A and B are shown apart, each in its own frame.
Chain A
Amino acid sequence: MIVFVTSTLQVRRIRREEYDAVAQLTLAAYENDYQLDPDYRERLLDVAGWDRDHQVWVAEDVTSGELLGAVTTPGENGPVGRVARHNDLDFRLLAVAPGARRRGVGRLLVEHVIELARARGRARVVMNSGPQMTGAHALYARLGFRRLHERETHVLDDGRVLYAFALDLDGGAAQEARGLVLAVELGALTRDAAGVRTWVRWAEEEGFALVTFADAPASAPTGVGAAAEVGVDAGTRASYAALLTDRIGLAPTLPVTTAEPFHLATQLASLDHATDGRAGWIVTAPDSTAALATVGSPALTTDQARQEARDAVEVAHRLWDSWQDDAIVKDVATGRFVASDRLHRVDFEGATYDIVGPLITPRPPQGQVVVIADVALGLGDAADIALVPDPDGIERAHASGVARIFADLQVDLDDRPDAAEELAGRLIRLAETVDGVRLHPTSAADLAILAAQVLPRLREAGLHRPPVPGSTLRESLGLRRPANRYAVPA
């Protein structure tokens, strides 16, 4: 595909036989400006890997056939790097052969990326760049990029920060603000079939990207007057919503300490298949005597419960990779349905149990189900989303390296006339510091006020961007589809 041609230069997708040449070109370009550590050098050279997970483009001199530069943009798997948020398009590994500088190669490649972003309806092009790359920075400035100071969080070995740049494509003030991914916990409204039908569909129509299903083990009450507040389990309610919806993410709460981790991984992979890639998992680790008694086990310490959570998430991640995407071969000639060398044991050794694997279910469509947990559970970057119930937690979540941070907000709108306006203002301010919010409305009346008074304010502010039908949850979150840890690159 030829997408951009000047007099003698063109930008096109890389060809398989050019991987080595582009690796050498990129290395030569970067060695000019960077001290490359061995790990980074190795990743730089893995052009086949970059092109498998993303899209590598080359600039070619059409007359001589010489390759002069390259850049990597996202394919279907979400952003290439960590700087992109909702509705951004990012790029990495922009490289110009040292002998081809000052010929407009860099500019041509960046203009190509901008065109891609426009074609895909993105609001902004973003990227990181080392502070010493002053030549590139001048180019970015000429093209209209500005520094994105609020996302310059990565400190380099020499103490300087990694720069971030952004180009707003529509230029309007509304586009200045970041999007806010909206999630909702519907609580008891989804306790039965009619409730799931009505309210999960409501959330989807209102443009929420995620609905969560709260749950806890059906433990017998211990205190006087304590009442059990559980009904149909969250996993089954989320599954029931799978075929009633086509774009909203569905995340059941599945406690890890009162379940078999292998079952949890199977159930979540199955939910991801049933939703074509919209499954999430709210991880909890109950530790009380009453909760653990439901499975005939003694209470756990807080540390033991956290260890259980880390182990359950780690083994789930491995089990979801235990089938390579290409494990099912259906090869009539040899009679093989699956290729056993694309199915992997996980041989997990946890604190209290071991699991052999592989999973009984093929790899989830998202590669990995989206893992969500309260920041206090301490999953760090093993989670995809940290839920932060109070502002103090935001910094902690940032430090943990988690990809997305959601403020977790209780919402009570029908008590005061100005509550909706206050909430809208609060959400707009929050958009500066978090990627999303999860709202906990307390009643159907709250939902009506949300729809009528709060969401329109977010739309006006350019913050409310509903998921597109057919999106996976990862796509709605701007998260890439992870590569498989067990797959050997071809």
Chain B
Amino acid sequence: MTSPAERYGTPDTGAAPDPSAHVHLGVFYPGVGPQLLWAESTSHTSVATFVEVVTTLERGLFDAFFLGDGQRLRENRGKVYELDISGRPDSITQLAALAAVTERIGLVATQNTTYSYPADLARRLAGLDHLSGGRAGWNIVTTDNAWTGGNFRRPGWLEHERRYDRAGQFVDAAKELWGTPVGTTVERHTDLVDFRAVASVPRSTQGRPVLFQAGDSDGGRELAAAHADVVFSANTAYDKAVAYAVDLRARLRRIGRSVDAVRILPGAGVVLGATRAEAEDKARWIHEQTVSPARALAFFEQYWGTDLSSYDPFGPLPDIEPAEGELDPSRGTLSIDRRTGKHAQVQAWRELSKEQGLSIVDLARQVQLAHPSFIGTPGEIAEEWAHYVRTRAVDGFNVTPYQLPGQLTEIVDLLVPELQERGVYRAAYEGTTLRDHLALPGVVDGVVDGAGGTVGARTA
């Protein structure tokens, strides 16, 4: 089998190759979605499960543990979607509890800027940062529809196109609140951010929370270039990772930020086996579990717009015509690029399934690709990751687990030692803060060293 260097070469990634680079690892627990095999996992509502998870990750010297968020339960055809794990805590609340029983690991909370108040959220995040001794991160997300707004005071107040404008102004305001001495009045009165408050939480050991950003659209990438310390991208395959790194670093240079001021940690699945064949078998099994017969029917129900439960998931596609109209964008279970062109899509699937003799579940497994994963022995994956970071295609990964907590124990016990052996992983925590772990530039007066990207006029 060829080495990663032979397979991928050493393309220009927008940053100089670094033979002594380290892999930075986080774990992203979304709390919803099909990735987690819930039949195999322990209770996700019990805080004890998460104490075990973060303790294990801290033993494995991980940079961060990362909680997802979403402010409305996902639905399928007007009913709460039943097939995926759901029911999650407020991430800051949960992480503050975990902060008290850990010492080093970073704790990253996903919170949205569309339906939160800037001064209030900035204060809560600063509080987590302060109490954890400088270990907090904020994954900045926006909410893209008024449907989620049904749980808030002003549903749909923000046009979809302006959600990143709001996020930018919001983050600017948060940075000012974090950067000024306690007792200083900060105020903003623009069309999208309006408050008068006082900076109330003392500066944490790391200056301010580390900012994560995940949006892959142009608006998301601009926000990341302007504000993020870490990008949590979806570009995991090597060629995609390189293209993303080149794009992001060009944006950074354009606004005068150092390319080392932002860490790139794409999401990644990990499937380990004693042999490559064993790992591949396991990955196949995981994909089959993930796209189960029930989920396959539910997937096509979204397109047909009708109850398909009477169809055999192992039989042919439904012969009835889908309901008129496009997909209902409200469910939150489909990515946005799948929300138009429904009828052409159904026609294409019909042809594909006829041509290849695919059943409903076969087709669902073919069109719903497996979560991008690294599959192999611990040594193979360590070798692969070493090449990714030394060529600066990425700075590490956010592992999305398929099982809790056992899979993470396996990664810590088997994969981490292989990384350490190759010199691409720390042997001990060197610093105490999340900013230290990520080897990010320090913060002076709330502004990251070398960052010229902080903008936003202060109006009174």
Q: Could you tell me which A residues sit within 8 Å of B by CB distance? A: 192-193, 196-197, 217-221, 227-228, 230-233, 235-237, 239-244, 258-263, 266-267, 269-271, 273-274, 276, 290, 293-296, 323, 327-328, 330, 332, 334-340, 343, 352-358, 360-362
Contact = CB atoms under 8 A, between A and B. Distances in A.
Contacts of B73: 343, 358, 360
Given A220-B187, A244-B100, A338-B80, A360 B93 contact: no
Interface residues of B, number: 70
A243 to B, nearest CB: 5
Nearest to A262: B151
B217 to A, nearest CB: 24
Nearest to B36: A337
A315 to B, nearest CB: 10
Contacts, number: 207
Given A263-B116, A360-B71, A220 B185 contact: yes
B131 A294 contact: no
B88 A328 contact: no
A330 B40 CA distance: 10
Given A220-B198, A232-B131, A332-B39, A260 B152 contact: yes
Contact of A358 (B80, B120, B131): B80
Interface of B: 38-39, 45-47, 51, 70-73, 79-90, 92-94, 96-101, 115-117, 119-120, 123-124, 126-128, 130-133, 150-154, 182-183, 185-187, 189, 193-202, 292-295
A354 to B, nearest CB: 8
A228 B182 CA distance: 9
Given A217-B120, A330-B38, A337 B127 contact: no
B101 A357 contact: no
A336 B117 contact: no
B72 A294 contact: no
B131 A196 contact: yes
A236 B193 CA distance: 24
Contact of B45 (A230, A239, A273): A273
Given A244-B100, A356-B150, 20 more contacts: A193-B99, A193-B131, A218-B119, A218-B200, A219-B196, A231-B182, A232-B201, A240-B131, A242-B100, A243-B98, A260-B115, A261-B153, A263-B90, A266-B93, A293-B196, A323-B87, A334-B294, A337-B82, A340-B80, A355-B150
Nearest to A244: B100
A240 B99 contact: yes
B200 A231 contact: yes
A362 B86 CA distance: 9
B453 to A, nearest CB: 25
A217 B96 contact: no
Contacts of A260: 115-117, 152-153
A246 to B, nearest CB: 12
A328 B87 contact: yes
Given A232-B127, A274-B47, A343-B73, A356 B151 contact: yes
Contact of A243 (B47, B82, B123, B195): B47
Contacts of A241: 100
5 contacts: A193-B132, A262-B152, A266-B89, A343-B73, A360-B86
Contacts of A294: 117, 119-120, 195-197
B96 A236 contact: yes
Contacts of B201: 231-232
Given A260-B116, A262-B71, A221 B293 contact: no
B236 to A, nearest CB: 26
B131 A360 contact: no
A293 B90 contact: no
Given A259-B120, A294-B196, A337-B86, A243 B100 contact: yes
B120 A258 contact: yes
A240 B82 contact: no
A270 B93 contact: yes
Contact of A219 (B131, B197, B295): B197
A361 B88 CA distance: 5
Contacts of A192: 130-131
Contacts of A258: 117, 120
Nearest to B115: A260
B129 to A, nearest CB: 9
A269 B86 CA distance: 15
B200 A235 contact: no
Contact of B38 (A228, A232, A337): A337
Nearest to A319: B151
B152 A232 contact: no
B94 A270 contact: yes
Contacts of A332: 39
Given A193-B130, A340-B80, A269 B89 contact: yes
Nearest to B79: A340
Contacts of B116: 260, 263
Contacts of A361: 87-90
B133 A335 contact: no
B87 A338 contact: yes
A270 B93 CA distance: 6
B100 A271 contact: no
A134 B86 CA distance: 55
A374 B109 CA distance: 32
A261 B116 CA distance: 11
Interface-central residue, B71, B101, B126, B153, by most chain A CB under 10 Å? B153
B150 A230 contact: no
A227 B181 CA distance: 13
A334 B298 CA distance: 12
Given A196-B131, A337-B83, A360-B73, A271 B292 contact: no
B198 A337 contact: no
B196 A220 contact: yes
Closest 8 CB pairs of A and B: A296-B194, A335-B294, A270-B89, A239-B96, A232-B127, A236-B127, A356-B150, A270-B93
Contacts of B79: 340
B127 A233 contact: yes
Contacts of B196: 219-220, 290, 293-294
Contacts of B101: 243-244
Contacts of A240: 96-97, 99-100, 131
Contact of A236 (B83, B92, B197, B292): B92
Nearest to A355: B151
Contact of B198 (A218, A233, A235, A336): A218
Contact of A233 (B81, B85, B88, B123): B123
A242 B98 CA distance: 9
Contacts of A235: 92-93, 124
B175 to A, nearest CB: 16
A33 to B, nearest CB: 47
A32 B16 CA distance: 93
A184 to B, nearest CB: 19
Contacts of A327: 87
Given A239-B96, A358-B73, A293 B195 contact: yes
Considering residues A217, A235, A273, A337, which has the most beta carbons from chain B within 10 angstroms of its beta carbon? A337
- Central interface residue in B99, B100, B295, by most chain A CB within 10 Å: B100
B97 A237 contact: no
